Amino acid sequence: MQGFSLRNLKYMKALAEAWASTSFVQQPAAQLPWFHNCVLLDKLKDHKQRVWYANQAVQHGWSRNVLVLQIETKLYRRQGKAVTNFDRTLPAPQSDLARQLLKDPYNFDFLTLSQDAHEKDLESGLIEHIRKFLLELGVGFAFVGSQYPLEVGGEDFKVDLLF
């Protein structure tokens, strides 16, 4: 064969070394496009993390950009570590959502809050992003407010977010 660049040959060698101890055909890496594998090789040195991200990319159909973003935001470390029975007691979509609730820590970098920010600052920043998002969606979506007062059965309550 001919036509392979030096760079691709190095990637091929790295790929063979990274997946040497397992049956390659049955691994998620075999189900991923070439440049997804290159991202895994470039960005991750730990085999366990590489396997985890490859599995997630196949399972969720991540594009290469999404894979890069998930690696850079350290999704592997932020996944819930609590021992749960979600997989056994809930169907697949709900068990995945329940597991996502246990992420630690959450990544709110997009809010650009300082270390001494209070819960109210976090809430205000999130609400502002939600408001902008709903405005972008256009007609048919309504954000009524946050901490919206309601009276039910003679008792006063506040709804965190009312859409």
Separation of alpha carbons 57 and 78, rounded Å: 16
pTM greater than 0.75 (yes/no)? no
What number of CA atoms fall less than 13 Å from residue 134's CA on the CB side? Answer: 15
Alpha-carbon separation of residue 97 from 65, 139, 153 (angstroms):
22, 28, 32
Separation of alpha carbons 5 and 9, rounded Å: 6
Using DSSP's 3-state secondary structure scheme, residue 20 falls into: coil
Separation of alpha carbons 138 and 141, rounded Å: 7
Tokens for 127, please give them.
């609400």
pLDDT at 102: 67
Q: Determine the residue type at 119.
A: E
pLDDT at 23: 62
Tokens for 79, please give them.
């996944």
Instruction: Tell me the helix, strand and coil percentages in the chain, rounded to 5.
Output: 55, 10, 35
Long-range Cβ pairs for the range 72-75 (8 Å, 24+): 72/43, 73/107, 73/109
Tokens for 154, please give them.
């003679």
Cα 81 to its chain centre, rounded Å, is: 15
Residues in a beta bridge with 152: 155
| Residue ranges for the chain with pLDDT beneath 50 | none
